[in-house]
């Protein structure tokens, strides 16, 4: 993971794009030559975890946009955008990132689209699709400008794990809430017996998936390839079981709330015959007015995609190949414009699917000692480390599989899926994402006796400042989640962005730098914000700008201390 230096000249146009093209040429061939059964299992897992949640958003759009968008539009967008992304580049947002980010129609965009539809119909008196097309076209050229002027360097270089952890926790909470909403719908539409079985199906889907995901630890039970298969296909096996179970025996007589589907490959709205929007018929004044929602969409997509990419390429995943943040944003702008012209919702980086994709590709490799070692100190036992398979096949296969479901026969198969299974998948995805979030482990510290807590680095005298930091993160997450439930929901990316200056200014006045250095770090480069502050203070001391005699407690007195990072 490379650091971004001041001499990078972030505002020099096309600098990152030229760098990304070089990186793409270095990695593209190897991305297609890496293939094995774990990659296939990952593609199957991501297929289910991307397709089924997208169908839930499709149901919401179908109702709240009066059938303007529905199942076929969401599937078409997810498959088409994912296919183009997998074939054309590696999704990333930092120098060592990989094609791990998963694209799909997101909940925040659905909230924004529903509000825009309401405004177009009730206030503006203009057709929704042409106005949305112009909004997405404006968002596209704004993405181009962000890519050309290296926006990644002058935005994401200031993001820390404080923000990414909150964003990841927020998405876990949203998936848990979505599962509850699905059960509430079943309760309001079906009999009480059907509702009770829906609870069984939801909890069963979750527990079977979690149970099978631990199969690799069942040794010596079964052959290791059987254990590996059960673990890698845990979610798929659980979903298939609970899709088929309601059709057996007396359960077949129960009412089932299943997914809404389209019967042919054509737009959901009966007034449309093809996937194309005549956006030029919109009055010029409204075409220019669409710049405003276009700007909101740009903010939403850029930061959502960037943070999603940061989380799915964190250090724990051991990514090594170079990536291309500017080229990512440039291609994202292209897919946004394409979706606007086709009259389908645009796809964007998804959480928690992106880090779950990385997790599904994680494996252990052994790094052997170099043969030229000449001393006993240089010789050591083989070093095991975790890393992911850095390739495009899992993205390509899952996107192609989703695209196949725009055909009427496979669309009919989707119609057999009970929404209770979807709720169970939501719980499983939320659990998998939450289990990887450092906030969860620090919450466990709150419940652990002080005598059982691990030791702390020098300079930190107790756990209470760390506990307060964790509680602060949880409260912020709860507040942002409440906002997503209101009409101000589309503004939640702005709140996420506001966490960046909050962390870099106000929080350093509340928590000592030793605490912040221990719990937080830069998300897309090495080091912490406190290292940068210490370096600036040491430089000022050396230049005589600060009287060393009046320096407060906590200011590092030597440059060797200020640049060291406590582990």
Structure confidence by residue, pLDDT tens digits, 98-128:
578 888 988 778 878 888 898 898 888 999 9
Identify the residue with better confidence: 523 or 54.
54
- The alpha carbon of residue 401 and the mean position of all alpha carbons in its chain are separated, in whole angstroms, by 20
Q: Name the percent of the chain lying above pLDDT 90.
A: 25
CB atoms within 10 A of CB 4: 18
Q: How many whole angstroms separate alpha carbon 391 and alpha carbon 32?
A: 6
3-state secondary structure of 262: coil
Q: What is the pLDDT of residue 73?
A: 92
Lowest mean pLDDT among 24-28, 307-311, 556-560: 556-560
Does residue 557 register a pLDDT over 90? no
Provide mean pLDDT across the span 343-362: 84
pLDDT at 484 over 60: yes
Give pLDDT, residue 294: 94
Per-residue pLDDT tens digits for 139-189: 999 999 999 998 888 777 788 889 889 988 988 898 898 889 888 888 888
Rounded-to-integer distance, Cα 562 and Cα 542, Å = 13
Q: Is residue 532 scored above 50 in pLDDT?
A: yes
Write out the H or E segment, with its range, that includes residue 519: helix 513-519
Which pLDDT belongs to residue 346? 95
Statement: residue 375 has pLDDT above 80: no
More reliable by pLDDT, 457 or 558: 457
Mean pLDDT of 284-313: 88
Q: Residues near 279 by Cβ (< 8 Å), separated by ≥ 6?
A: 129, 130, 133, 134, 137, 287, 340, 341
Write down the pLDDT at residue 141: 97
Instruction: Give the pLDDT band of residue 325 (cuts 50, 70, 90).
Output: confident
Which pLDDT score, from 0 to 100, does residue 287 have?
95
When pLDDT is averaged across residues 462-467 and rounded to a whole number, the result is 91
pLDDT in tens, 181-207: 888 888 888 888 889 989 999 999 999
Q: Which residue has the higher pLDDT, 189 or 137?
A: 137
- Tokens 């912020």 appear where? 476
Decide: 186 and 257 in contact? Cβ < 8 Å: yes
Cα–Cα distance for residue pair 307/350, rounded to 1 Å: 10
Q: Report which of 247, 252, 113, 257 is spatially closest to residue 199, judged by C-alpha positions.
A: 257
CB-facing half-sphere around the CA of 466: CA atoms within 13 A: 26
pLDDT band for 52, please (50, 70, 90 cuts).
Answer: confident
Instruction: Extract the tokens encoding 100.
Output: 């791990």
**Contact in structure between 338 and 405 (CB atoms under 8 Å):** no
- What's the confidence (pLDDT) of residue 297? 92
Taking 50 as the threshold, does the pLDDT of residue 458 lie above it?
Answer: yes
User: If you write DSSP's letter for every residue of 483-526 in order, what string do you get?
Assistant: HHTSTTGGGHHHHHHHHHHIIIIIHHHHS-HHHHHHH--BSSSS
Q: How confident is the model at residue 545 (pLDDT cuts 50, 70, 90)?
A: low
Element holding 66 (H helix, E strand): none
pLDDT at 126: 93
* Token pair in block for residue 71: 């199942």
- Rounded CA-CA distance 144/332 in Å is 9
What's the full length of the chain, in residues?
567
pLDDT at 461: 85
What pLDDT shows up at residue 368? 59
Selection from 30-39, 258-267, 362-371, 489-498 with the highest mean pLDDT: 30-39
Greater model confidence, 31 or 473: 473
Asked if 477 and 170 touch (Cβ cutoff 8 Å), the reply is: yes
Neighbour-count burial of 504, counting CB atoms closer than 10 A to its CB (0-12 exposed, 13-18 middle, 19+ buried): middle
Q: Is the pLDDT of residue 378 over 70?
A: no
- Look over the chain and give the mean of its residue pLDDT values, rounded to a whole number: 81
Distance of alpha carbon 432 from alpha carbon 30, whole angstroms: 29
Mean of pLDDT values over 14-22: 85
Place 248 in a pLDDT band, splitting at 50, 70 and 90: confident
| Rounded distance between C-alpha atoms, residue 465 and residue 445, angstroms | 12
Q: What would the mean pLDDT of 229-239 be, rounded to a whole number? A: 85
- Check pLDDT > 70 for residue 505: yes
User: Which tops the pLDDT comparison, 96 or 128?
Assistant: 128
Element holding 254 (H helix, E strand): none
One DSSP character per residue, 180-213 reads HHHHHHHHHHS-HHHHHHHHHHHHHHHHHHHHHH
Percent residues over pLDDT 70 in the chain: 86
pLDDT of residue 355: 78
Beta-bridged to residue 385, according to DSSP, are: 365
Band (92; pLDDT cuts 50, 70, 90): very low
Distance in angstroms (rounded) separating the CA atoms of residues 541 and 558? 10
Is the confidence at residue 549, as pLDDT, over 90?
no
What is the structure's pLDDT at 95? 30
pLDDT at 558: 34
**pLDDT-wise least confident of 27-41, 366-380, 491-505:** 366-380
Q: Which helix (H) or strand (E) holds 103?
A: strand 103-104
Pick from 87, 50, 27: which is nearest to 396 by CA?
A: 87
Query: What pLDDT is attached to residue 289?
Result: 94
SS3 state at 363: strand
- Torsion angle (degrees, nearest 10) of CA 404, 410, 411, 415: -140
**538 pLDDT higher than 70:** no
**pTM above the 0.85 mark?**
no
* Largest distance between two CA atoms of the chain: 84
DSSP 8-state code for residue 320: -
Of the candidates 48, 49, 39, 148, the residue with the CA atom closest to the CA atom of residue 98 = 39
Alpha-carbon distance of 244 to 246, in angstroms, equals 6
Bond from prior residue into 220 cis (ω within 30 degrees of 0): yes
Average pLDDT estimate for 223-237: 84
pLDDT tens string 409-424: 888 888 888 888 888 9
The per-residue pLDDT for 376 is: 53
pLDDT, residue 414, reads: 82
- Token code pair at residue 313: 């390429």
């Amino acid at each position: 993971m490379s650091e971004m230096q001041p001499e990078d000249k972030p505002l020099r146009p096309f600098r990152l794009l030229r760098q990304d093209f070089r990186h793409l040429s270095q990695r593209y061939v190897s991305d297609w030559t890496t293939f094995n059964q774990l990659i296939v299992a990952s593609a199957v897992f991501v297929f289910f975890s991307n397709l089924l949640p997208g169908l839930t958003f499709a149901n919401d759009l179908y109702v709240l946009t009066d059938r303007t968008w529905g199942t076929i539009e969401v599937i078409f967008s997810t498959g088409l955008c994912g296919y183009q992304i997998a074939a054309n580049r590696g999704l990333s947002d930092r120098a060592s990132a990989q094609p791990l980010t998963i694209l799909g129609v997101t909940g925040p965009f659905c909230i924004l689209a529903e509000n825009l539809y309401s405004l177009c119909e009730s206030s503006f008196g203009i057709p929704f699709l042409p106005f949305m097309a112009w909004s997405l076209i404006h968002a596209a050229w704004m993405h181009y400008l962000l890519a050309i002027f290296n926006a990644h360097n002058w935005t994401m270089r200031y993001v820390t794990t404080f923000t990414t952890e909150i964003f990841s926790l927020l998405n876990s909470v949203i998936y848990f809430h979505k599962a509850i909403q699905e059960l509430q719908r079943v309760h309001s539409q079906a009999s009480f017996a059907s509702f009770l079985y829906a609870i069984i199906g939801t909890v069963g889907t979750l527990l079977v998936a979690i149970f099978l995901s631990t199969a690799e630890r069942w040794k010596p039970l079964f052959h290791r390839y059987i254990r590996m298969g059960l673990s890698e296909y845990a979610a798929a096996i659980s979903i298939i079981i609970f899709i088929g179970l309601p059709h057996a025996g007396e359960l077949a007589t129960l009412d089932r709330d299943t997914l809404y589907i389209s019967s042919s490959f054509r737009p959901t709205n009966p007034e449309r015959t093809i996937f194309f929007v005549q956006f030029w018929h919109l009055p010029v004044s409204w075409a220019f007015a669409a710049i405003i929602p276009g700007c909101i969409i740009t903010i939403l997509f850029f930061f959502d995609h960037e943070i999603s990419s940061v989380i799915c390429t964190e250090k724990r995943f051991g990514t090594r190949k170079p990536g291309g943040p500017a080229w990512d944003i440039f291609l994202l702008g292209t897919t946004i414009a394409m979706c606007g012209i086709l009259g389908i919702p645009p796809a964007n980086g998804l959480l928690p699917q992106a880090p779950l994709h990385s997790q599904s590709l994680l494996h252990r490799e052994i790094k052997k000692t170099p043969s030229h070692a000449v001393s006993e100190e240089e010789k050591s036992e083989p070093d095991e480390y975790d890393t992911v398979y850095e390739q495009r096949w899992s993205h390509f296969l899952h996107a192609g599989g989703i695209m196949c479901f725009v055909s009427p026969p496979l669309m009919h198969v989707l119609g057999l899926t009970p929404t209770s299974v979807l709720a169970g998948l939501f719980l499983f995805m939320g659990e998998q994402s939450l289990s990887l979030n450092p906030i969860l482990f620090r919450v466990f510290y709150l419940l652990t006796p002080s005598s059982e807590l691990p030791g702390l680095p020098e300079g930190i005298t107790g756990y209470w400042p760390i506990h307060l930091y964790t509680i602060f993160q949880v409260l912020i997450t709860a507040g942002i989640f409440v906002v997503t439930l209101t009409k101000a929901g589309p503004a939640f990316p702005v709140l996420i962005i506001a966490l960046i200056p909050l962390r870099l200014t106000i929080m350093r006045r509340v928590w000592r730098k030793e605490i912040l250095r221990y719990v937080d770090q830069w998300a897309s480069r090495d080091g912490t914000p406190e290292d940068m502050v210490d370096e600036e203070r040491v430089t000022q001391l050396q230049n005589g700008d600060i009287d060393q005699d009046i320096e407060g407690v906590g200011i590092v007195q030597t440059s060797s201390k200020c640049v060291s990072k406590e582990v």
